[in-house]
Structure 1
């Protein structure tokens, strides 16, 4: 974004010389292209990875809070286990005697 602004400033600095418009416009367009490439190739995947890590961490914290609340309320350990198994995807759940 800064490169684009610098290119536009160079382009508009001296409008009396038409030869100066081309290099300034070229700089503005090239830096805009580089910014778009960086945003989509580097920063967007990085953002998605951070979002996934955050969602996983929030799920773990929710599970911990649910488990602590169940233990504090005096639930049977098997019931607590069953409550916490709900958070796991079906392929990661193991058979339980509660049911």
Structure 2
């Protein structure tokens, strides 16, 4: 755990592999205008492979409710749709918000 603590002191954001909620944190904190983008340093926690590592990510705001996410250390890219509060509703092929009546 000392290893993880050392990493977390130098990073503002984490990204946990099995949840879209960690994408909500930079989306709400970067305060991007439409057309703007920003790269950030993130601690990536891959739960399925028991891996923790620093990565560079890029968030770009395409529309009021749409962001483009790029992991700059891999070729992974995704279009993320958010609700009016910036909470991730859709990350195609990964997550989809389902509301029950």
Q: By the TM > 0.5 criterion, same fold?
A: no
Structure number with the higher strand fraction is 2
